[in-house]
Structure 1
């Protein structure tokens, strides 16, 4: 049986970008059954003008006082009736095949949500490929982009997005709650999301507070972290090893780069020894 899908686009002071987001939904090869824009209390004239134009074009717009992206998404999801819900931030875009590919993934009952790889646009460029997976893949890092599709009944069962999380990582928290009972998140290995990068964005600001916010994630999901402590710690160590190896490769190739002080007990000393050996070898 064909499942209906609604797209909820949340926006706050995003001007003409909100129309780009909406047009990306209207251009899907698998049409959405419902489309709702939630304005989270925009104040700038450009955004207000754009939202009014969208309404004149027949797009449904729900307005609320500024309460954060979680509250905006929840308000939008409560206002639609479809079986599946896709969320999209007002400064991002779906490529035409996004809904077709992600909705198809949800035909598997074991899949609790689906998304795709993404292409960065704006100040940075490139393709990023999150892995998705079960709850253990989400303990060391968030492994799914915020634009995603999930079953409305599961959103309701886990209590929606946490509206008290206004500093970031609300998506990570939501995905962990979806996954804790079981199942997995499927990520389509194709860049079907256009993710806009810009200085001062909410996501970048959240990363400056990563350690504190990650601590909050652990506190909110203490049971699953305790149950899978070994997996979480090994995943963190794997991330550290990978980043150290990338730094080592870069510095080994460029003698003008300063090494800085060697760190102890985390592989830092061994890395500096390998760098020194590589530099000596290249100069001999």
Structure 2
């Protein structure tokens, strides 16, 4: 079966299950430890990934695996409660099927969140960072192979992956909410092993400010579909190569959950601002 047909079948199932007569134009991806935000939507309804045809299943316990439709501050949104990763054994195309599903459902603006380690010594754990650019160090690209003409061109432009106007909006509402919002470059690696001190030095020398095991595949696929994008990282730990402390997934999840209040304030403010511009 062609990839376009898989996504079309998945989109038709979601429309029928959730009754999406007027689907949302804004999509949100919730990363590690951040899925609880979906329960705060109003007029909310959801469908598990397992019930949607052709979707890969999230195998990480901190990714609940459901697609939600509801409102945040009056703005209709589609929310991915969890994602899939390359390290789970999925192909780049499978990892991006959820994002392409959002595009097939009508999403034109994508807000991506993740949990990430800080590479910048000035960005402490517990802070939020707005993504200004990304470095794909996974060795993979979801656009490899036959081009999906339905979604975009063979060679999409990547000069502004993250929309400057959305970035300025996020900066403004963060200031209004009293939130510190760092700005930096996200490095995406395949994982699942965490980076060594030597790798940390290398990624920092390359210009990275935060590092994680998601997002870069999705943002490439979204750029292919000409979506406007805003990316936000919850910085869960600080990688200081000369005194790098051991960490674990449990500690990362705990810090992401602790930072979720800040993320909630930011997402609600961004959604409220977007609602006034529709």
Query: Shorter-chain TM-score: what band?
Result: under 0.3
When normalised by structure 2's length, the TM-score is 0.28
| Higher normalized helix content (fraction of residues) | 1
Q: Highest relative contact order (Cα 8 Å, sep 6+), 1 or 2?
A: 2
- Bigger-Rg structure (1/2): 1
TM-score, structure 1 normalization = 0.27
